[in-house]
């Protein structure tokens, strides 16, 4: 069965047959992605946030305190808040998070046309902002939760102070802020490799998946390359 009439130069009948089989699976996957997205959009409100968390933010070289409620701009009632793994005693942050934020910075201006977006790390704001400046993350709003219980409350910090990544969605309804979604695939056991909890927001892995070598079992991004 062929779903379209496009044929590429010099492809064999075997290639086309196998590619058509794969294409049928890709169509099924596209439908499943749409189904899951609809289920995600239909979630009821999660729990109301227990407090209006206070974060540190660097503005014009000075540090100010910013409440969670202040991250919601007028007319935008959804907030994407990414937990950046960069602890207070770390010399450098998580390379995986760094690679993700490299890509997110590029789309941040488009994202914030519709929703609010911010990045929060446990490290002190001077350290966090200095790294953001080094990377050229001019479109990301960087925050520190150094004096907040946010990380512990939303499971991005272990009892031994180990930090964990997560993408959380919060929504504002009738003057109250509720948790709506988290990238919980991170907590679900996975046989090997990446937990894929951020796949839908991270094009790096989708590009590798389009190659014969795939993601590789042992390859991970680095902060710097020779």
DSSP secondary structure code for residue 90 in this structure: -
The pTM assigned to this predicted structure is 0.93
Average pLDDT, whole number, for the chain? 94
Radius of gyration of the chain (CA): 20
Distances 203 to 199, 207, 215 between C-alpha atoms, Å: 7, 6, 12
Six-digit token string for 96:
């995986």
Residue 214: left (phi > 0), alpha (psi -120 to 50), or beta? left
Classify residue 19 by burial, with Cβ atoms within 10 Å: 0-12, 13-18, 19+. Answer: middle
The least confident of 47-56, 111-120, 195-204, 206-215 is 195-204
Band (pLDDT 50/70/90 cuts) for residue 193 is: low
Does 215 score more than 90 pLDDT? no
Residue pointed to by tokens 């993350």? 137
Instruction: For 134-166, write each residue's pLDDT tens digit.
Output: 999 999 999 999 999 999 999 999 988 899 999
Band (pLDDT 50/70/90 cuts) for residue 4 is: very high
């Amino acid at each position: 069965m062929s779903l379209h009439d496009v044929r590429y130069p010099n492809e064999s009948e075997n290639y086309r047959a196998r590619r058509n089989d794969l294409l049928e699976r890709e169509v099924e996957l596209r439908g499943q992605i749409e189904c899951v997205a609809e289920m995600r959009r239909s979630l009821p409100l999660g729990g109301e946030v227990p407090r209006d968390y206070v974060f540190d933010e660097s503005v014009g070289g000075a540090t100010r305190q910013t409440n969670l409620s202040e991250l919601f701009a007028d007319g935008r009632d959804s907030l994407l808040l990414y937990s950046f793994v960069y602890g207070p005693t770390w010399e450098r942050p998580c390379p995986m998070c760094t690679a993700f934020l490299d890509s997110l910075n590029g789309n941040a201006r488009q994202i914030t046309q519709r929703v609010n977006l911010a990045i929060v790390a446990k490290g002190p704001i001077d350290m966090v902002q200095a790294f953001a400046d080094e990377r050229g993350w001019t479109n990301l709003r960087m925050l520190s939760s150094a004096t907040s219980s946010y990380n512990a409350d939303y499971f991005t910090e272990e009892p031994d102070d180990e930090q964990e990544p997560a993408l959380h969605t919060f929504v504002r309804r009738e003057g109250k802020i509720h948790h709506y979604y988290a990238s919980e695939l991170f907590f679900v056991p996975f046989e090997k490799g990446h937990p894929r909890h951020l796949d839908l927001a991270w094009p790096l892995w989708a590009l590798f998946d389009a190659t014969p070598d795939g993601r590789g079992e042992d390859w991970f991004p680095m902060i710097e390359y020779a």
